[in-house]
């Protein structure tokens, strides 16, 4: 089996006091047989859910017909990996396996994913939600990053990783889950309306000015 199971000693308890096991996949790749063994172990020893990243990519599907047959057999939503759209929302484990979360980041993140994932945008748009200032979901280097605090959520915009990394700027503080959804929707709509083709959100904001962007979104 090409992964290493390891107990996390320092942060191995969730809020209910349950231990968890973190699995390491070298290079992020595993075989179908590994998935079957993981599922069997989870059924026998753990919960009925497994926390992954927001996507699994299946390689080696040889032609269009087999691709469609594979999609039907999976019976789960798929997406275009390199599309100009809102990408799958990155969400930290939150209260699912971590005791550090300050708000229900998992609820907010999955809600945003259901609401906005796949919407076409001038370039890729990456949203991330972290359950505490440790920022395990790397929210401060995403186009739209949301970080939980003791007073609600702080929202950041304009971040990016990759070839031209940039740190997102703080856009709003102490907002509610509902307010976060409203602001994300406004940001996406303004980005769709005003950005140039293949212009990242951060570059768009830089071009028109942060103060003007805040005013248009309704941030005082």
Q: Is residue 140 part of a domain?
A: yes
φ, ψ of residue 197 to 5 degrees: the values are -60, 130
Q: Cα 127 vs. chain centroid, distance in angstroms?
A: 6
Whether residue 177 sits in one domain with residue 97: yes
CA distance 141 to 64: 35
pLDDT tens per residue, range 112-123: 999 999 899 999
Whether residue 112 sits in one domain with residue 42: no
Q: Is residue 177 part of a domain?
A: yes
Q: Regarding predicted confidence, which is higher, 12 or 95?
A: 95
Whether residue 98 sits in one domain with residue 202: yes
pLDDT tens per residue, range 53-109: 767 777 766 677 777 777 777 676 666 666 799 998 998 877 667 788 899 998 999
φ, ψ of residue 37 to 5 degrees: the values are -65, -35
Q: Is residue 84 part of a domain?
A: no
Q: Regarding predicted confidence, which is higher, 215 or 95?
A: 215
Q: Note the pTM of the prediction, 2 decimals.
A: 0.79
pLDDT tens per residue, range 26-48: 666 778 888 888 788 777 776 66
């Amino acid at each position: 089996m090409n992964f290493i199971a390891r107990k996390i000693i320092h942060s191995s308890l969730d809020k209910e006091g349950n231990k968890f096991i973190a699995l390491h996949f070298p290079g992020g790749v595993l075989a179908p047989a590994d998935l079957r063994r993981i599922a069997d172990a989870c059924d026998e020893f753990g919960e009925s859910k497994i926390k992954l990243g927001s996507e699994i990519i299946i390689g080696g599907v040889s032609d269009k017909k087999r691709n469609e047959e594979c999609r039907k057999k999976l019976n789960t939503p798929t997406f275009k990996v390199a599309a100009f759209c809102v990408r799958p929302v990155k969400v930290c484990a939150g209260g699912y396996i971590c005791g550090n979360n300050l708000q229900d980041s998992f609820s907010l993140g999955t809600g945003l994913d259901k609401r906005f994932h796949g919407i076409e945008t001038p370039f890729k748009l990456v949203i991330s939600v972290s359950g505490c200032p440790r920022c395990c979901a790397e929210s401060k280097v995403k186009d739209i990053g949301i970080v939980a605090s003791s007073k609600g959520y702080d929202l950041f915009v304009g971040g990016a990783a990759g070839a031209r990394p940039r740190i997102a700027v703080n856009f709003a503080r102490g907002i509610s889950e509902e307010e976060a959804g409203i602001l994300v929707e406004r940001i996406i709509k303004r980005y769709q309306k005003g950005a140039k083709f293949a212009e990242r959100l951060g570059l768009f904001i830089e071009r028109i000015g942060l103060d003007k962007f805040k005013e248009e979104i309704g941030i005082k």
